[in-house]
Amino acid sequence: MKPLDIGVCSWSLAIKDLSKTLATVQQELGFAVVQVGFFGEAIPAEGEMDSIIQTVADSGLEVSATCIGFVDEDYSTLPRIAATGGYVPDDRFEQRFAETVRVADLTVKLGVDKLATHVGFVPHDRSAPRYQTMVDRVKRVADALGQRSLMLLMETGQEQAEALATFIADVGRTNVRVNFDPANMILYGIGEPTEAIDVLRDHIAHVHMKDATWSAQPGKTWGQEVPLGDGDADIPRVVSKLRTIGYQGPLVIEREAGHDRLGDIRYASELLQSLLG
């Protein structure tokens, strides 16, 4: 994989069949890089892994990272995802930890060294009891991935950049890094993406290319995802700042809304190619 290679998230295509997804990525979109996601009921069982490994190998695509999301994560409102997301719910943690380990094992077999997820909302107050709970849970996840020589990529968006950097320091694991998503900063209403790059620069190991517009009530209601370049993330400046800090990873297009996913992905690719020169 070359520095700043353009790729796409598998789930952006909204095609359930992985083989068809990868064929579309390669044949219709012309990408060589893909991030492969496993979400909810589609998290593979042990017996399904060999088929997935073969499907990815047959595609000839390079996988930049895997990604996991969980059953019963409720994104209907910001308060609901704060309560149900990632490793936050006490009654779901052990199951979600086990599922993460299973996808980590699959990630290793795919020859990939990064696994991304939204770990869940971390309390802003470091003295809050739940803060230490989240530190301990992410340590446990990071240690399980570390035993497999994997990096845990925390998705940006749910915490301000300074708070996320502090949390990573408190977790204290060298294999915990950031998947930087400029749109999530806006969707969750927590800060300007270009400013966040300066704060998180040493932690950024993978990047999503996604755009959004601010909510009328940032931090209380969702912003709106829009095609890349049409929102408030200032994508040209984001790319410029990533280059300035020496980011060497891929730029992976993520599109989770809209009625013309392929068209929007092509539009995003054209924008990125023009910015990269």
Per-residue pLDDT reduced to its tens digit, 241-259: 999 999 999 999 999 999 9
Q: Is 185 helix (H, G, I), strand (E, B) or coil?
A: helix
- Please give, one letter per residue, the 3-state secondary structure of 52-100: HHHHHHHHCCEEEEEEEECCCCCCCCHHHHHHHCCCCCCCCHHHHHHHH
Predicted confidence (pLDDT) at residue 173 exceeds the cutoff of 90 = yes
Predicted confidence (pLDDT) at residue 157 exceeds the cutoff of 90 = no
* Sequence letter at residue 151: M
Average pLDDT, rounded, for the chain: 96
Show the domains of the chain with their CATH numbers. Answer: 6-276 (3.20.20.150)
Mean pLDDT within 23-35: 97
Predicted confidence (pLDDT) at residue 158 exceeds the cutoff of 90 = no
Per-residue pLDDT reduced to its tens digit, 41-52: 999 998 999 999
